[in-house]
Copies of this chain bind each other. A is one copy, B any other.
Amino acid sequence: MEKPVIFVTNDDGIKAPGIRKLIEFVKPLGSVMVVAPDKVQSGTGHAITVNVPLRMETIVKEEGYEEYSCNGTPVDCVKLGMKMILKGRPDLLVSGINHGSNASINIIYSGTMAAVFEGAMAGVPSIGFSLLNFMPDADFEGCSKYVRKLAAKVLEDGLPKGICLNVNIPDLPESEIRGIKVCKQSDGSWQEDFDERTDPGGRKYYWLRGMFVRAEDGEDTDEWALEHHYVSVVPVHFDFTAFDAINKLKPGLENV
């Protein structure tokens, strides 16, 4: 029987410790193909590259393991890898392990999760993994068991049509993680601020900075799970329709 094909990508770039660990964790499960950005693409959301040509570089090409870097975004990596290298769909797509949380509203800015949406849109069971530690030297050992188990489970069972998983992992040793909670996206927000500076020529410039503000929205959310030392698994989809609002808005808006 042929080994399943596992596609690996991320948004922190191909050299990030998080993707190296993810590759190590999923290698026992099948043939692995890595296509990841050649530089940090954090905060790129679901961007695609249309104004510059895309390039790929072969890093490793051996039986059961291939690795390529690409000058595009995580979404470009998924599109290009599937179409031009794999020439088909993998059995599983995993993205990460992101250095930093993609829980709550962070998902909307996340290149890690954009790659996962892109996989799901192509019909591939897809999971994004993030560790709640954004430091380059974050310790991913505590993730090992959960990443391996969730990847194996989804590889075995698949996922419902149109659904992919946003998995966030507390920054704790494995022994202190209490298990997994399947939950909903918490309603947190970013309190933005800009650092205003003046360049040597006298022109102002700005650095975005912000503070994440948690919402106290119950025990069924990812933020609650993470705070209580659980791995959070949020099933997400790419139909953004707010169904409840359709009938509410119909009378007013259809007759303006």
In the bound complex, do residue B50 and residue A47 qualify as a contact, i.e. CB atoms below 8 Å apart?
no
- Which 5 pairs, one residue from A and one from B, show the smallest C-beta to C-beta distance? A45-B46, A235-B245, A45-B45, A53-B205, A237-B242
A250 at the interface (CB under 8 A from B): yes
CB distance from A249 to the nearest CB of B (A): 5
Q: Does A25 contact B (CB under 8 A)?
A: no
Quick one: which of B107, B179, B206 contacts A80, CB cutoff 8 A?
Answer: B206
- Give A33-58 as 1s and 0s: 1 = Cβ < 8 Å from B's Cβ atoms: 00000001011111111110111100
Q: Which residues of chain B have C-beta atoms less than 8 A from A241's C-beta?
A: 184-185, 234-236
For this complex, into which size category does the number of interface residues on chain A fall?
Answer: 35 or more
A202 shortest CB reach to chain B, Å: 12
Q: A45-B47, A48-B208, A249-B233 are in contact. Are A163 and B254 (CB under 8 A)?
A: no
Candidates B45, B189, B205, B238; contact of A44 at CB < 8 Å: B45
Contact string, A160-190, partner B, CB cutoff 8 A, digits 1/0? Answer: 1011001000000000000111111101010
Is B108 a contact partner of A208 (Cβ separation < 8 A)? no
Contact A208 B79 (CB under 8 A): yes
Task: Tell me the A residues contacting B by CB distance below 8 Å.
Answer: 40, 42-51, 53-56, 75-76, 79-80, 83-84, 105, 107-109, 114, 117, 121, 149-150, 152-153, 157, 159-160, 162-163, 166, 179-185, 187, 189, 192-194, 196-197, 203-208, 233-243, 245-246, 248-250, 252-254, 256
Contacts of A196 in B (CB 8 A): 84
Question: What is the bound-complex CA distance between A53 and B205, given in angstroms?
Answer: 6
Could you show 6 A-B contacts with beta carbons less than 8 Å apart? Answer: A44-B45, A48-B109, A53-B197, A53-B205, A152-B256, A182-B254
Q: A234 to B103, alpha carbons, bound, how many Å?
A: 25
- Determine if A53 and B253 form an interchain contact, defined as CB atoms under 8 angstroms apart: no
CA distance A197 to B39 in the complex (A): 23
A242 with B163: CB separation less than 8 A: yes
Specify which of B152, B238, B252 is in contact with A157 (CB 8 Å cutoff).
B252
Query: In whole angstroms, what is the CA distance A37 to B203 when docked?
Result: 18
Complex formed: what's the CA distance from A94 to B216 in Å?
A: 30
Question: A181 — nearest CB in chain B belongs to which residue?
Answer: B254
If A83-B194, A121-B189, A233-B249 touch, does A256 touch B206 (CB 8 Å cutoff)? no
Whether A179 lies near B254 (C-beta < 8 A) is yes
Query: Across the interface, do A47 and B54 meet the contact criterion of CB distance under 8 Å?
Result: no
Whether A114 pairs with B45 at a CB distance below 8 angstroms is yes
